[in-house]
Chain A
Amino acid sequence: MNVRPRFFSLIAAIAAFVVAVAAAVSSQTSQPPSLSLLSREGRRALPIALVADQEFVALDDLAAAFQLTVREESLGAVTVSYKGKTVVLTPDQALASVGGRLVSLPSPPSRSGRRWLVPVEFISRALSLIYDARLDLRKPSRLLVIGDLRVPKITARYDALGPAGRLTIDATPRATATVTQEAEHLSIKFDADALDVPATLLAGSPSPGLVLGVRVADPTTIAVDLGPRFAGFRASNQPVDTTQRLVIDLVTAQTDAPAVSPSPTPTPTPPPVDLPPSFGQSASPFRTITLDPGHGGDDDGVKSAEGTKEKDLTLTIARRVKGVIEARLGLRVLLTRDDDRTVPVDERTSVANNNKADLFISLHANGSMRPAARGASIYVAAFDRDAAQAAAGGAERVPTFGGGLRDIELVPWDLAQTRHLDQSSAFAGLLQQTLHDRVPLATPPMERAPLRVLESANMPAVLVEIGFLTNPEQAKLMPGDAFQNAVVQALFDAIVRFRDTWPGGTH
């Protein structure tokens, strides 16, 4: 069988055309638009006619592409047939009858000279019901995928994370990608037949020092052009619903100039981290951190007089801390929420417990009835004596499957934190040190309180209040990059120190 090489070269040619046409169509509006038909048999460009801002295709062209029979009937109706199945169109009606079933169209068929024009949606809404292969119309890309080709739609986003950066590339439907470094670019090759790529994947130069641009290298490959400050990367693939998300964390060289801030105003960058970056899994058993951005959804948390919401502030900082930790330490960082949604308290702790996190940090911004209150606070859980005694209740003897009895240690969910209070206090102490000199600290900076979100955490856990949104001076600084950089760096440094003191072999 010598079909495969020819087949793959055909697919490559088709895909190259698709990418080129998609880019050309979007960037050069002066050229007549066309719909790209992509199938295993070949490719075809179908002219598009614009009628009253609606995109139409000629029935003649469709007939040639799909082996359809088009006939004008005596009463003015137009029939479109394929292998004994028929679609009936009626002039002046935005409807089509498919085997007795009516489907709506955005506008009625239109006559242009001797030709009948139909809205492009005719393909997906009517023709697809009588055709024997899948017709996947992607109108924004002016692309029609015929059959079972894998043509994921690609979108990209770049986030600056202090001096580092993160590139997030989504492929929908899912297609895994392999990332390799080649000279001055990263090559991202997708396991697909072709790519549905917008004309501009990322506008402009996302980060002049780190990422110069993102472009299509070949029909199934995207290239990321790297800047002079690029020092390394770490990539991970993860499914998100029907999308495969590729996250590439880009790390800068430590000795290079500070990264360009995402803020329009220049802001000081955080001081360099003591440790050199490492990109693999840590040799330490300390592996997973759960960050809990406080509040979210209907629950705004504290609001400043200027309108800054605690829920937004905590999410921004959590994302930045996650990016820096994953990029530099290679640790797994889970967020209890990665968007603006309501998360019950127990669900927050469950994320940490179910993933056997080694550290849980709940991020908050504080509020007081008095505007004088200011400074960051670190809270560790407090339990009354009865609760602590209940948690220390010891082992319970239970029957085993094969017969006999076995002692198991039972700790009530609500009291799980009682066994980690020493370690929680140790981390709180480290964080107090790393926050000191970077942001104002409250007096006293460390507190113990019966905080709901900490009590069920089955690992060292703290709640950090980064400052008071009710203090006018702090409320102005907290949304800014300088303040947030300082908090992110302090958290990062505390985590590094805590990891370095982590007792080996506990997991």
Chain B
Amino acid sequence: MNRRVAFAATIAAVLVFVALVAVARRGAPPAERPGTGAGKPVAPAAPSTPAAPGRKIKARLFYVADDGMRLTSVERDVAYGEGADEQAREIVAAQIAPVTSPMVSAIPSGTTVRAVFITKSGDAYVDLSRETRAAHPGGTVNELLTVYTIVNALTVNLPAVTAVQLLIDGKEVDTLSGHVDLRRPLAKNLTWVQ
């Protein structure tokens, strides 16, 4: 098991480095391109790289598709974060930010991010504000899309993150609205993405 973790960490570090180089060479980010390449990792931050003001990375964010049954992915500029935890927080913050029509977010309005931290084993813990539950409209589809918006936003963009557990107001919760089991970290699942 330890050997697996070490191997995964090495791979992740290499990917981080390659991605950073790619971002540095790319220059200005291209325009938004919805629905493409949901599974490709986008540049995460390297802990040793000094932060530059206004620096951005490209990340794939997830919104409710037109059919209302799945997510669709969109490439967006996201603020650069110092270190993996900080980069994860920036991605979550960008993901939960309100969007304008015709985009629809699966994240209940008023949701804010309280904290994000990543364990050595690649589990990310995302602590969201209580609005995530209190303002959730319910329904299995809604709940699946809310949960996998966050899970996929981190696992797709940060190769170091293999699974994500949502916390609400600093505490573990069973579900958001009675359906999806949130008692353990959930792995990336692109079934819920078009």
A interface vs B, CB < 8 Å? 294-295, 299-303, 310, 345, 364-373, 377, 379, 384, 387, 414, 442-443, 448-453, 455, 463, 465, 468-470
Contact = CB atoms under 8 A, between A and B. Distances in A.
Contacts of B144: 449
B104 A302 contact: no
B175 A373 contact: no
- Size class of the contact patch on chain B: 20 to 34
Contacts of B191: 448
B55 interface: no
Interface string B143-171: 01100000000000000000000000000
A373 B140 contact: no
B174 A345 contact: yes
A89 to B, nearest CB: 58
B104 A377 contact: no
Nearest to B181: A452
B180 A369 contact: no
A373 B183 CA distance: 28
Nearest to A367: B139
A301 B138 contact: yes
B64 interface: yes
Contacts, number: 106
B141 interface: yes
A370 B174 contact: no
B87 interface: no
A371 B139 CA distance: 13
B187 interface: yes
A85 to B, nearest CB: 59
Contacts of B135: none
Given A379-B140, A451-B140, A470-B139, A369 B68 contact: yes
Given A301-B138, A373-B67, A470-B137, 5 more contacts: A367-B137, A369-B106, A370-B65, A452-B174, A463-B140
Nearest to A449: B144
A448 to B, nearest CB: 8
Contact of B180 (A294, A442, A451): A451
Q: Which 4 A-B pairs have the closest CB atoms?
A: A367-B139, A370-B68, A373-B68, A368-B68
Which residue, of B65, B175, B181, B184, has the highest number of chain A Cβ atoms within 10 A? B181
Nearest to A470: B139
29 contacts: A299-B178, A301-B138, A301-B178, A302-B142, A303-B138, A310-B139, A345-B174, A364-B139, A367-B138, A368-B64, A368-B69, A369-B68, A369-B105, A369-B137, A370-B64, A370-B67, A371-B68, A372-B66, A372-B67, A372-B68, A373-B68, A373-B141, A377-B141, A387-B184, A449-B180, A451-B140, A465-B141, A468-B139, A469-B139
A364 B69 CA distance: 16
Contacts of B145: 368-369
Nearest to B137: A367
A294 B179 CA distance: 10
B186 interface: yes
Contacts of B184: 387
Interface in B112-156: 137-142, 144-145
Contacts of A450: 180-181, 186
Contacts of A442: 69
Interface of B: 64-69, 104-106, 137-142, 144-145, 174-175, 177-181, 183-184, 186-187, 191
A321 to B, nearest CB: 19
Contacts of B180: 449-452
Contacts of B142: 302, 366-369
Nearest to A387: B184
A367 B137 CA distance: 7
B178 A345 contact: yes
A414 B191 CA distance: 23
Nearest to A348: B178
Contact of A377 (B65, B140, B177): B140
Contacts of A372: 66-68
Nearest to A383: B181
Contact of A452 (B67, B141, B178, B186): B178
B141 A368 contact: yes
Contacts of A414: 183
A451 B141 contact: no
Contacts of B181: 450-452, 455
A365 B137 CA distance: 12
Nearest to A309: B138
Contact of A367 (B66, B67, B105, B141): B141
A337 B144 CA distance: 25
Given A384-B187, A450-B181, A302 B138 contact: yes
Nearest to B179: A451
A469 B180 CA distance: 19
A303 B139 CA distance: 9
A465 B140 contact: yes
A366 B139 contact: yes
A470 B64 CA distance: 14
Contact of B66 (A303, A345, A364, A370): A370
Contacts of A470: 68, 137, 139
Nearest to A465: B140
Given A368-B64, A368-B68, A443-B69, A449 B140 contact: yes
Contacts of A455: 181
A468 B186 CA distance: 26
A452 B175 contact: yes
Nearest to B185: A384
B167 to A, nearest CB: 16
A465 B145 CA distance: 15
A295 B136 CA distance: 14
Contacts of A387: 184
A463 B180 CA distance: 12
A403 B145 CA distance: 53
Which residue, of A345, A452, A453, A469, has the highest number of chain B Cβ atoms within 10 A? A452
Contacts of B187: 384
